[in-house]
Amino acid sequence: MGKLYLVPTPIGNLDDMSFRAVQVLKDVDFVLAEDTRNSGKLLKHFGISTPMFSHHQHNEHKSVAGAIQKIQEGNDLALISDAGTPGISDPGFLLVRNCIEQDIEVECLPGPSAFLPALLLSGLPCDKFHFEGFLPHKKGRQTRIKELAEKECTLILYESPYRIVKLLEQVNEFMGSRRNMSISRELTKVYEETIRGTAQELLEIFKEKNIKGEFVVVIEGKSW
């Protein structure tokens, strides 16, 4: 029986790839990747020539069965995502659960993920936090924001550049304009930036400028 490795990859800066991540990706028999073209560039950069298979949210159920079979046949597999840690707002959970059910050993390497640096950079309490990931785009979005508004710990969300202004409007409406917030964009990349302020201040900034990139939104918990 083989083994499953969960291998985090950089969220921007390639120097964040760990020595162990490179070694595991070289040693395993197959790499399961969200986007084999995208990950192909990463593997090439580190001189890794391990064969790849695709494992993304649209084929996840089907590829889990194939992956389990390969491991049961004695192959070691490594799961990577496009960026950061697999399973964190990316495919991974289903495969891990199936491996556990089949008594397959799973090892997770620690490594890059966008939410932890954003939490630390926010300056908001990081002793207790809630990681939400992406909110639903339409149905259930407002209800979920109202639920999050009641939580007393720091909140962490992922958001796309297309919905960031909408999210800020909703935070102002349902959580209050005085909530302290922080938005980190392009973490570990050339244009990395963290913008801090109240919900009202951040809405004004983001409405005025067409700020692009990948964002992590951190919101102060309810304190009144």
* Rounded least distance, CB 197 to ligand SAM, Å: 18
18: contact with ligand SAM by CB under 6 A: no
Of positions 154, 182, 184, 194, contacts ligand SAM by CB under 6 A:
184
User: Please, what's the b/e burial string for 131-155 (b: 16 or more CB within 10 A of its CB; e: otherwise)?
Assistant: bbeebeeeeeeeeebeebbebeebb
Q: DSSP letters along 11-74, please?
A: SS-GGGS-HHHHHHHHHSSEEEES-HHHHHHHHHHTT----EEE--TTTHHHHHHHHHHHHHTT
Q: Of the listed pieces 39-47, 66-74, 146-154, 180-188, which binds ligand SAM according to CB under 6 A?
A: 180-188
214: contact with ligand SAM by CB under 6 A: yes
Cα separation, 165 vs 150, in Å, equals: 21
89: contact with ligand SAM by CB under 6 A: yes
Residues 190-209 that bind ligand SAM (CB under 6 A): none
Q: Binding residues for ligand SAM, how many (CB under 6 A)? A: 24
Of positions 6, 28, 70, 90, contacts ligand SAM by CB under 6 A:
90
188: contact with ligand SAM by CB under 6 A: yes
Return the number of the residue (2 or 39) whose C-beta is nearest ligand SAM: 39
* Rounded least distance, CB 82 to ligand SAM, Å: 7
Strand-pair partners of 216: 158, 184
Q: Which residue in the block uniquely carries the two structure tokens 């300056």?
A: 123
Cα separation, 147 vs 135, in Å, equals: 12
Residues 142-161 that bind ligand SAM (CB under 6 A): 158-160
Contact (Cβ atoms closer than 8 angstroms) between residue 219 and residue 130: no
Residue 147, phi then psi, degrees to nearest 5: -65, -45
* Rounded least distance, CB 67 to ligand SAM, Å: 18
Q: Quick one: which H or E segment has residue 80? A: strand 77-80
88: contact with ligand SAM by CB under 6 A: yes
Q: Interface residues with ligand SAM (CB under 6 A)? A: 11-12, 81, 83-85, 88-90, 113-115, 158-160, 184-189, 214-216
